[in-house]
Structure 1
Amino acid sequence: MLKKRIIICLDVKDGRTTKGVKFQNNIDIGDPVEMAAEYYRQGVDELVFYDIIASARGRGPILDLISRVAQQVFIPFCVGGGIGTIEDIRSTILAGAEKVSLNSQAVKNPGLITEGAKVFGSQSIVLGMDVRRDPTKPSGFGTTINGGRVDTGLDALEWAKRGVELGAGEIVLNSMDADGTKNGYDIELTRLISENVPVPVIASGGGGTPAHLADALTTGKADAALVASMVHNGTYTVGQIKDELNRNGVPVRL
């Protein structure tokens, strides 16, 4: 059976790791290079690094910081935020990332997904989605960009399917309603997308206990679970999360 992945997210603002709740009230929690090195030591499967203000400020990725993180970790490393051109993708991968996450820029220029997949392979192109419950949408979920500040008008399920058709090889599915709450992932959303696209789906937003991850990875049918608050605040180590998942029959890399 394919092993489920545990991925840690580092949200970065002005060169520092930050954490908020539902994308609000962010606080500084540390140096992303030091934190990446520590989580690598703990045995995390992958890291995701999001520059949460790059798109809103209209600038590209911070290549120096990406390079410094990449020198500390020898696992798949995905970078998102402000990547709007093929040159941005190329420079990010050359700085040490294996994958790039396209979110706001993919909505504004869907052709970037196709072009990126053609040049670098679909395994390097991740569709990032910030999703909110929206009863006016056919699936019950809508898509936002620019750190949740702009409603795109897109139905989440339709955009997920289209993103994969365009060439995305993976989806990071973030529930804006659950983000930072530590009350559990949005299982309905996770399962909806997981069952309707042929690529891996990473559940994001709301992880607070290993039981929440188990729920997302089994009932939610996610291929991986992304965590932030529950490890950043020291409540759990990666090893503790994996041990508990393993005890509950969820196949993980120990």
Structure 2
Amino acid sequence: MKKIRLIPRLDIKGPNLIKGIHLEGLRVMGDPQEFARRYYEQGADELLYVDVVASLYGRNSLHDIIERAVRDVFVPLTVTGGVRSVDDVRKILRSGADKVGINTAATKRPELIREVSRKFGSQCMVLSIEAKRISDGHWEAYTDNGRERTGLDVIEWAQRGVDLGAGEILLTSVDQEGTREGFDTALLAAVSKVVPVPVIASGGMGNLDDVAKAVCDGAADAVAMADILHYGRATVGEIRAAAQASGINVRAL
């Protein structure tokens, strides 16, 4: 029985942790370092950092934030946003990240996925997909926080990304993100069914039952969560206990 990972998601704009709805309408929450330390102490399995304006400015500016984080956070870190080249990946890994997520640059030049996985290993290469539902059972991949269309079918793109060497998929439902209405389990199930690598559910966690739904109905391997933690509606420990009570195999603390 696979072990499900609980991953706080930290969306960053400049020096601040922010939170939005449908990846828009961003509200400043505070210093990301304080939140990262809190979630680590609560028992997070990993942390996910997303530079939300990186693609806009053509660079990832999380190096300083990651270098600070690794001083007192000792779980794997995934960093995504504005990564355009093997050199960008190298710099982020040198800052202390364990994995790097790529979205925009991969949609424009899929070969980058192969280059990164060959250079650093597929376990390091996370394909980040922002999905919007276009009809029942069909989703389109978007970039730039769900603003730019790619014309790519999410299911086909996930398969192609894994074929090119992606070792994990970060699957964000733009429709559900920030709504507190639960994950898009149909989306998760559709992608999980066709790829042999872990799928991280992101976007929509509203209550303690949503982890079990993402895993049981969506076959997710990990769950990313932001709003429920940032606003103090639950701790990582409470989410872990609820998952265990639902029979979900999570790391015992």
TM-score, length basis structure 2: 0.97
The Cα of 1:70 is off from its aligned counterpart by 2.0
Matches of 1:161 and 1:210, distance apart in 2: 30
Alignment of 1:247 onto 2:245: yes
Contact 1:33 1:72 (C-alpha < 8 Å) held by counterparts: no
Give the superposition deviation at 1:127: 0.3
Q: How is 1:158-173 mapped onto 2 (pairs within 5 angstroms)?
A: 158-173=156-171
- The 8 Å contact of residues 9 and 48 in structure 2, kept in 1 or not, is answered as yes
Residue of structure 2 in register with 1:216 after alignment: 214
Partner SS, residue 151 of structure 2:
strand
Q: Structure 2: which amino acid aligns with 1:215?
A: K
Inter-partner Cα distance in structure 2 for 1:147 and 1:15: 18
Rounded Cα–Cα distance in structure 1 between residues aligned with 2:133 and 2:127: 19
Residues 132 and 175 in structure 1, CA contact (< 8 A), matched pair in contact too: yes
- Residue 19 of structure 2 is matched in structure 1 by 19
- The residue that corresponds to 2:181 in the other structure is 183
Residue aligning to 2:9: 9
The residue number in structure 2 matching 1:91 is: 91
What percentage of residue pairs aligned between the two structures are identical? 43
AA aligned to 2:19 is: K
Q: Please tell me the residue identity of whatever aligns with 1:112.
A: L
Aligned CA RMSD, in angstroms, stands at 1.1
* Structure 1 gaps, min length 5: none
Read off the aligned partner of 2:223 and give its amino acid letter: A
What does residue 193 of structure 2 align with? 195
Alignment of 1:98-113 (within 5 A): 98-113=98-113
Contact 2:4 / 2:249 at 8 angstroms: preserved in 1? yes
On the 8 A contact 2:44/2:236 being kept in 1, the answer is yes
Q: Is there any run of 5+ residues in structure 2 with no aligned partner, and where?
A: none
3-state SS of 1:195 partner: helix
- Does the CA contact (< 8 Å) of 2:14 and 2:61 recur in 1? no
Q: Distance in 1 between matches of 2:35 and 2:231?
A: 12
* 1:181 positional shift: 0.4
Paired residue for 1:55? 55
Measured after TM superposition, the shift of residue 30 of structure 1 is 1.1
Residues 163-212 of structure 1 show CA distances to partners (whole Å, capped at 9, x for unaligned) of 00010000010000000001000010000000110100011100011211
Paired with 2:248 and 2:62, the residues of 1 have a C-alpha distance of 36
1:98-177 equivalent positions in 2, closer than 5 A: 98-135=98-135, 139-177=137-175
Contact 1:36-1:72 within 8 A present in 2 as well: no
Q: Deviations for 1:100-137, whole angstroms, at most 9, x for unmatched residues?
A: 000111111211110100010000000000000013x9
Shift of the 54–110 alpha-carbon distance from structure 1 to 2, 3 Å rule, reads same
